[in-house]
Amino acid sequence: MSRFLGVSLKMYLDHRSTLRWIADVAAIADEQSAVADGTVQLAVLPSFVSLQAAARITAGTRLELGAQDLSWADSGAFTGEVSGRDLAALGCRYVEVGHAERRRLFGEDAVIIAGKLAAAQRNGLTPILCVGEEERVDEEEAADFCLDQIAGALGDLDGELPELIIAYEPVWAIGADRPAGADHVRAVCRRLRAELADDHRPQQVRVIYGGSAGPGLLAQLGDAVDGLFLGRFAHDPQQLRQVIIEASAS
Ligand SMILES: O=C[C@H](O)COP(=O)(O)O
């Protein structure tokens, strides 16, 4: 199974900086043989307004595209919402569902997240489902918490989902100085993987880590994770280049 590196730009970069960053990273992706041969998959999730222009830049490159959110509805009277149908038509392959910031700042609960996951499935998008405990607790409690979030999100799923990415992001490690400890991350991700192996609705599940991730982390996490979900520490394309090289080597 190939390793997955996703970068959410959140709302950090403005439109012009986003497009510059995407052009730089697309060039880096094309020069890396592991990305070219599919051993490492690389995706960027810019804000909605940049998706169309981003799709033009990434066309024909190995840099894939995703969105940071979607509506649980596909069309209709839903002011301000963006449908999975449009995201797929724009060229997105991935969509983030249930990020901690959406849960905390925008009131997304288990019902909304399950609806969004089902919308991703309906529209042929691969969900990047974000889960993670809010406070520092031991790995057993953290994994239990994440498994509850996953069960809630998959609750409404009808039929199979070709591909699911679980982004394990302990809330307390997001926006921090450093990631969660490697022992903790390894233990939680191993347990998530083991429990998900019995759920046959997603045909392929990858578990990645996010939360202040950057260069040097993959070597510590080893094969306990299938990749990383990056934020601030990928804003410098050269830092991301370093992470790609590390993902290629591991
Ligand atoms: O979406 C990415 C994660 O929330 C991590 O963000 P961060 O690396 O800036 O903490």
pTM of this structure = 0.98
- Total domains in the chain come to 1
Phi, psi of 40 (to 5 degrees): -120, 125
Predicted local confidence at residue 106, as pLDDT:
97
- Note if 169 is an active site residue: yes
Distance CA(17)–CA(123), nearest Å, equals: 29
CB 4 within 8 A of CB 225: no
Distance CA(88)–CA(128), nearest Å, equals: 15
Q: Which of 99, 133, 139, 246 is catalytic?
A: 99
Max Cα-Cα span within the chain: 48
pLDDT of 14 higher than 80: yes
Question: Quick check: CB of 4 below 6 Å from ligand 1?
Answer: no
**pLDDT, tens digit, 9 for 90 and up, residues 202-221:** 999 999 999 999 999 999 99
Q: How confident is the model at residue 54 (pLDDT cuts 50, 70, 90)?
A: very high
Q: Identify which of 4, 95, 232, 239 to mutate to test ligand 1's pocket (most ligand atoms within 8 A of the CB).
A: 232
Q: What is the CATH number of the domain that holds 73?
A: 3.20.20.70
Domain of 223 in residue numbering reads as 3-249
Q: How confident is the model at residue 1 (pLDDT cuts 50, 70, 90)?
A: confident
CB 42 within 8 A of CB 63: yes
Name, in order, each residue with C-beta under 8 angstroms of 206's C-beta and a sequence gap of 6 or more: 1, 4, 163, 164, 165, 166, 226, 227
**β-sheet bridge partners, residue 137:** none
Q: How confident is the model at residue 198 (pLDDT cuts 50, 70, 90)?
A: confident
**β-sheet bridge partners, residue 208:** 167
Predicted local confidence at residue 172, as pLDDT:
98
- Note if 99 is an active site residue: yes
Predicted local confidence at residue 27, as pLDDT:
97
**pLDDT, tens digit, 9 for 90 and up, residues 121-158:** 999 999 999 999 999 999 999 999 999 999 999 987 88
